[in-house]
Structure 1
Amino acid sequence: MTDGFNREAAAAAAAPGVLQGIRVLDFSRYIAGPYCASILGDLGAEVIRIEPPGGADDRFLLKVEGFDDGAQFMALNRNKKSLTMDLRSPRGREVLNRLVASADVTLTNMPPAALPRLGLDYASLKQANPAIISANVSAYGPQGPLSGRNGFDLIGQAMSGATYMSGWPGQPVRTSCNYVDFGTGLGTALGIMAAIMHRQQTGEGQEVQASLLQTALTFMNAVLLEASTGVERAPGEGRSPYAGPAELAPTKDGAVVVQVVGPAMFARLAEAIGRPELAQDPRFDTDEKRGEAGAELSAILGEWAGPLTMQEAMDALAQARIPSGPAFSPIQAINDPGVRGSGVFQDHHPKPDGPALPVAGFIARLSASPGTIRAPAAAAGADTLATLRAAGFSDDEIETLTAEGCVVPPAA
């Protein structure tokens, strides 16, 4: 990490993004929707987060000392403006429709059946803006007996078979990374980008639907396909059941992850750990057999790695061209020179006099039109007045809406 943006990042931030001129109304909460909107913002779209007076509940998760907002909110709501309003107020629908008329994309995350109550369903939005692109993230999608239910990332992990396969017999295990949420956010952003291209070609808006369940099932599709043929695999107990070794090996000062695929790589591993005869052992001569013999390989690998430090083990494995890496704690990951040197994080200063926070930038690197972090997450309602004026509301109208409690500027 560096102190602020380096010159290259600063120059990129000053250039317009590929989505400049696209206005997004972000009604979403928590991870999948906000992450999707942050991707669009990184690429230059004007993203306006619309939330209740005082801010939505997801502002305060993972509280950070010295900051009003939580770590999750600050990470996923950069490059956004904030407008606070009560959608359920008597004039909420009127204000919503006028905002939609000046927008290109709306983004929500709720069960599809709940959208009409707020005027956020595609049919209602089209009346205000026939060319609108309406994107909704839900737990289970728009069809089927579960479509009306709420859900979070872990539901997708569990229902896709991932927690079962990651754990031990009778003890499924969740991952600490909300990969279903983030994968859904990425997929939704891709769908919105495709819809924008379609509109450029035809002038037509459309509806984009994504769900946590679809993402989770897509990510587990190969495993599910295999199971559909009658293959019943036991939980992996922290190892891969398909090849090996592919697991964590404890050392004197931590653990390293080792992943081996293919006979040539396994032969190099066997040589590196001083057991060259393993490459000719009929118990381990295919990926499938090594996956099935995971416990035996774990014992062998542990016997080799146990007396070593993490660094010694990784040096030996790197010399043999075996993919490996350290099992870091979060603070170790942040402070590691390799991680810091990768350029993933940009030091961000949400408060002028506050500490720098490492915020991961746009997930891909584009040489001509990079995604950039131009602004920290906005305070609740910080852009209410400017956003309403840009949408055509007069000062008198804004004063009336404020008096009625429909919109809440920061001063209120």
Structure 2
Amino acid sequence: MKLVFVHDGPIFEDKDGQYYEYSYHGLYERYKYLADEITFIMRVYPVEKDTKGTKLPAEIKVINVPNFKSPSSYFLKKRIAEKNIEKQIRETDYAVLRESSCAKIALKYCKKYNKPYIYECVGCIWDGLWNHSLLGKLMAPSSFIIEKKIIKNAPYVYYVTDQFLQRRYPTKGKSIGCSNVVIDKVDESVLKKRLDKISGYHVDNKIKIGTAAALDVRYKGQEYVIKAIKKLVEQGYDLEYYLAGGNRKQSTFLKDLAVSLGVEKRVIFCGSLDAAEMPHFYDSLDIYIQPSKQEGLPRSVIEAMSRGCPVLGTKIAGIPELIEQKCLFKKGSVSAVTNSIVYILHSDLEKISIYNFQKAKKYTKEILADRRRHFYDQFLEEYRY
């Protein structure tokens, strides 16, 4: 059986034809339960200098779809994208569509050729557009209405939250709330090491705070933490802020901001880290912070929790489903970030760490795989030839 996974991407290709990804960990293992042949349909970009990511399994076939979002080449590239996507949908048995421009094209052809599909709802299109730009604010209402209609009428919907996306985008079809996060079995020794680290903590020590998120979109909110760092340093705290993700080009805005505020030596850009490097990143931090204006159920928050890391996050999307109320703060507010950091620095970090570690156990690969298989079994029972 054949399955296509359709999303805008991107993934990256090096000169030897090897593909790399940052956002699709574990999808091959997941989708091979549904089909023998897996094809990814999305944009493919050349690997950038000093940036690679995690290798895509060689078993996955990749179909490159041109970026048709540029006004200057929209009509030409849109036709090419339509042709490529139609061919793959026509030849496949099943499709998994993750909300995107490419997925909307694929949906049209799934209906034309009567192909069974699962629609993945991984974030709120309203939040994504509204927090992106002025043009995004203009597009948000109509895009929101279209997305609600698509999900309402989809036969199978995969939500990455337990409540948030389900309330905002209800469906008449069958659905599951199951995180996209892939965490191996949680090791109790990780918690012990974290508690040992906390036992040596003092508020007057150097404090390492970190965020793992894209740097090329401002809705991830790192700028508010950088501005808060300046205020906190002025209050006498010795802080460093570590940012994982993106590359030198993408970090220009945030680097310039740090320089303008005089905290450039306290803001450290770690670049893109692959999956194997992320545990060390979280373990090196005293506090993890997710200052996003828009999310689904953020992978990095769950990963940080699985390392016993105390976590702060905004009161948006699926984040309140993960961390305690006292660790949440208002999005887009420097003062809220500042107050939240001060609060947690003077809190019982051991208690917060234990809570986060135990909560993360709900998102281990084994537990989520069982729930996911039950959902996929329903799909296969209905559509298997």
The TM-score bracket by the shorter chain reads: 0.3 to 0.5
Whose radius of gyration is greater, 1 or 2?
1
TM-score by length of structure 1 reads 0.32
TM-score of the pair, normalised by structure 2: 0.34
Structure with the higher strand share, 1 or 2: 2
* Structure having greater relative contact order (Cα 8 Å, sep ≥ 6): 1
